[in-house]
A and B are shown apart, each in its own frame.
Chain A
């Protein structure tokens, strides 16, 4: 089987930096993805890490350590519109994706 652990909820202030961690246990691991979902909406892709290290896309960065089965999503210069749920997901063999239960980010003024 597989498991992904991420915090259920995080609160931060507008303009701050927040890190959302994800630890995973799985076989056939290919990479780790992050998705954002606003209330009532569909998940949208943010980033993907197949190799160890940091990937940066604008205000968002994602990190992966394959040896530690660990990754995180870093959001900088938080804005109110970043209030959403964030999901980590592992890509396994046979093109299967498995999602964590999500982290609800509350951004306060």
Chain B
């Protein structure tokens, strides 16, 4: 357990509404990641962060933005949710000195109607 929590754990929203998902870690690790998981696609990297205010895009970043104003929090925002963004979202961290191993949060199930 790497002290990762995600909120909310479940959310149902309507197309066109903004949505923010939160990832919180208690161990002050530098690297944090957001993935989405859909059947048949495994985990796909959306955005990641390598420090406060330092973020970069992953392979499926369109329609998503992120912010990291504190080491412990990494926020994922869907500015205007679409049905194609219905998915399970996982946050992950890598521990300093063990960058080859990722620890995942419990996930957020998002449904966009």
What residues of chain A have their CB less than 8 Å away from a CB belonging to chain B? 8, 30-31, 33, 35, 42-45, 48, 50, 87, 89, 91, 94-102
Contact B100 A33 (CB under 8 A): yes
CB of A92, distance to nearest CB on chain B (Å): 10
B residues lining the A interface (CB < 8 Å): 31, 33, 35, 40-45, 48, 50, 56, 58-59, 90, 94, 99-107
Q: In terms of DSSP, what is the predominant structure of the interface of chain B?
A: strand
Q: In the complex, which residue of chain B has the Cβ closest to the Cβ of A2? A: B59
Inter-subunit contact A45/B33 (CB<8 Å): no
- Decide yes or no: A42 and B105 within 8 Å by CB, A50-B100, A95-B31, A98-B59 being known contacts: yes
Q: Determine the chain A residues whose CB is within 8 A of the CB of B31 once the complex forms.
A: 95
Q: Report whether over half of chain A's contact residues are helix, strand or loop; otherwise say mixed.
A: strand
Q: Find out whether the CB atom of A45 lies under 8 angstroms from the CB atom of B42.
A: no
Return 28 A-B CB contacts under 8 Å, by A number. Answer: A30-B100, A31-B100, A33-B100, A35-B102, A42-B90, A42-B104, A42-B105, A43-B43, A43-B90, A43-B104, A45-B101, A48-B100, A48-B101, A50-B100, A87-B42, A89-B102, A94-B50, A95-B31, A95-B48, A95-B94, A96-B58, A97-B102, A98-B45, A99-B42, A99-B43, A100-B42, A101-B41, A102-B42
